[in-house]
Amino acid sequence: MSYIFSLSLMTALLCGLWGLVAGFANLLVWGGFAGCTSYFANPEKGKEAVKSCICTTMTGALYALISIKLCSIFDSTAVFVLLTTAITFLMCIQSKIKILSYIPGAFFGSFSTFAAGGNLYIIPSILIGIFLGLACDKSGSLLFSAAGKESKENKENNENL
C-alpha cells in the first residue's frame, strides 16, 4: 500500500464521516472542507499548520464579518470597493506577523464567510475542518506505517506530488 493510497483512503473515510456529523449538527459541511483544505494547502504540517490555519482563517472570517456589517450599514458601491481594497491589503500585510503569514488561510476564512452570507456557523465549521485535515494527515500516516510498504522509488515519486 502506498503512502498516497493510505492518505487518500483515510481522508475519504474521515471526510465522509464529517459530512454525516456536520449535517446532524447543523454545521456547514463545505465550510469544514474549506478548513480541511486550508490545512492541506499549508506548507507546514501538524501542530504548526493547525496554529497558523486557525489564526489566519479566523482573521479572514473577522475581516469578512466586518465588511458584511459595514456594507449593510453603508449600502454603497464605493464603500464596498473601499472595504475590499482595505481588507485585501490587511489580509496580505498581516504576513509580516509570523503566526499570520499563511496568507491563503486568511483568504479561505474570508471567502468562506462571504459565501456563508455571514452565517456564524462558518466559524466552528472551518475550525473543525482544520482539525479534520490534521486527523486525515495523521491517520493516513498511521495506516501507512501499519500496512504500507513501498519502494524507495515510489516513495520519492509520491513526495514530488
Q: State if pTM tops 0.85.
A: yes
- What's the mean per-residue pLDDT of the chain? 92
> Is residue 155 very low, low, confident or very high in pLDDT (cuts 50, 70, 90)?
low
Is the per-residue pLDDT at 156 higher than 60? no
C-alpha cell recorded at residue 140: 493516513
Q: Which of 72-81, 131-140, 145-154 has the highest mean pLDDT?
A: 131-140
Helix (H, G, I), strand (E, B) or coil at 152: helix
Find all residues with CB under 8 Å of 60, minimum gap 6, and list them. 91, 105, 106, 107, 108, 109, 110, 111, 112, 113
Nearest to 130 by CA among 36, 51, 40: 36
**Mean pLDDT confidence for 69-98:** 92
Helix (H, G, I), strand (E, B) or coil at 102: coil
